[in-house]
Structure 1
Amino acid sequence: MATLENTADEGVSAEGGGVRRRDFINIAAVSFAGVGGVVAVLPLVNQMNPSADVLAMASSEVDLSGIKPGQAIKTTFRSQPLFVRHLTPEEIAKADATDAATLRDPQTLADRVVDGKTQWLVTMGVCTHLGCVPLGAGEGENKGEFGGYFCPCHGSHYDTAGRIRKGPAPKNLEVPPYTFTSDTAILVG
């Protein structure tokens, strides 16, 4: 009977199974330390999230309602110039008539626009040669030999689809990720 009482005092049941009091205290202490560690680390991890002003620059909404066919505008996206061009049916036909295989950076117009919205071309306004801002989006600016954009720094010529046609630029103007939020507005980013 003495052995049965000793085991009962240590927290083991008379039937031979169960958790000892010492095990329970160890599990509780480790759990408490784990919760404390998470509570201490959470603010450190959370401070690495981008601030509200950075999140606000992560995307830009552009109103397309004032852009007439054949016109392009300049705006900004992530502190860089962004070109939005409303292509005319003639410009679309000319871009489609160009054999993409003959281009330095082969892309068709369909590769560069959203399905069903072929008339809207959205590109970054940064030359892929050395990062200058090409002309052609503003009223009266030089549009180059192909009617699109012209980079005055080193003479790169882009067509109306933003594809490199002449000059030192190795690639077409970059098309950022964008979606149409309505028929007259896009969200870039």
Structure 2
Amino acid sequence: MADTVAGASPDPHAAGDDPSRRDFIHIAATTAAIGAVAGLAWPFIDQMNPAGDTLALASVEFDLTKVEQGQQVVLKWRGKPLFVRSRTGAEIAKAVKDDTASMRDPARDEDRHKPGKAEWLILVGTCTHLGCVPTFGGGDYGGWFCPCHGSHYDTSGRIRKGPAPKNLAVPEYAFLSDTKVKIG
């Protein structure tokens, strides 16, 4: 006691405590706790992933030989209608001519189909206003018309008149061959 200076604290290691050992124990315990929580949480997180049957519907392959020029086929894809249309030369020419027209959601026709495949137009078939299904050939612009609230789309699926704020959506797709397309 005589060696202790007044106001100085006693040696923290006097009792044999090793700070590096104590720090290691704290880090190891924290790591083990985090691992245990992650191990318990993973099954709950994993069950939120889509089921296998849902993932199978994420993409669809379609044989284009089933569609004649000037016709449209409606497929069901991800619970929505999907329009696969074989456009005529006149429809393509009208769409390209209208590229410079004033539009609510401007888009060029060439940006709405794959390069070199202007005759194939693939669109999600739900009106961007309230999700109704437009019909082809009833609008003022030779394209689709939504009878629910009067949206008019042209031959490229671009909104031209009515309450819809956006063009008909173009899904991700790729041509697997000249006669087969994979959507999604």
Partner of 2:148: 153
CA deviation string 1:14-63 (max 9, x = no partner): xxxxxx9xxxx999999887776665454344323211111112122222
Q: How does 1:23-38 map to 2 (within 5 A)?
A: none
Number of corresponding residues: 167
* Whole-angstrom CA distance in 1 between matches of 2:27 and 2:120: 63
Alignment RMSD (CA, Å): 2.7
In structure 2, relative to structure 1, the CA distance for the partners of 1:125 and 1:31 (3 Å cut) is closer
Partner of 1:143: 138
How far did residue 99 of structure 1 move? 3.4
Gaps of 5+ in 1: 1-19, 137-141
Gaps of 5+ in 2: 1-20
* Whole-angstrom CA distance in 1 between matches of 2:26 and 2:129: 64
Amino acid at match of 2:95: A
Contact 1:100/1:107 (<8 A) preserved: no
Partner of 1:5: none
The percentage of counterpart residues that share the same residue type is 54
SS across alignment from 1:157: strand
Partner of 1:131: 131
In structure 2, relative to structure 1, the CA distance for the partners of 1:82 and 1:36 (3 Å cut) is same
Amino acid at match of 2:133: V
Amino acid at match of 2:164: A
Partner of 2:85: 85
Partner of 2:95: 95
More displaced stretch, 176-185 vs 37-46: 37-46
More displaced stretch, 40-49 vs 176-185: 40-49
Partner of 1:46: 46
TM-score (norm 2): 0.75
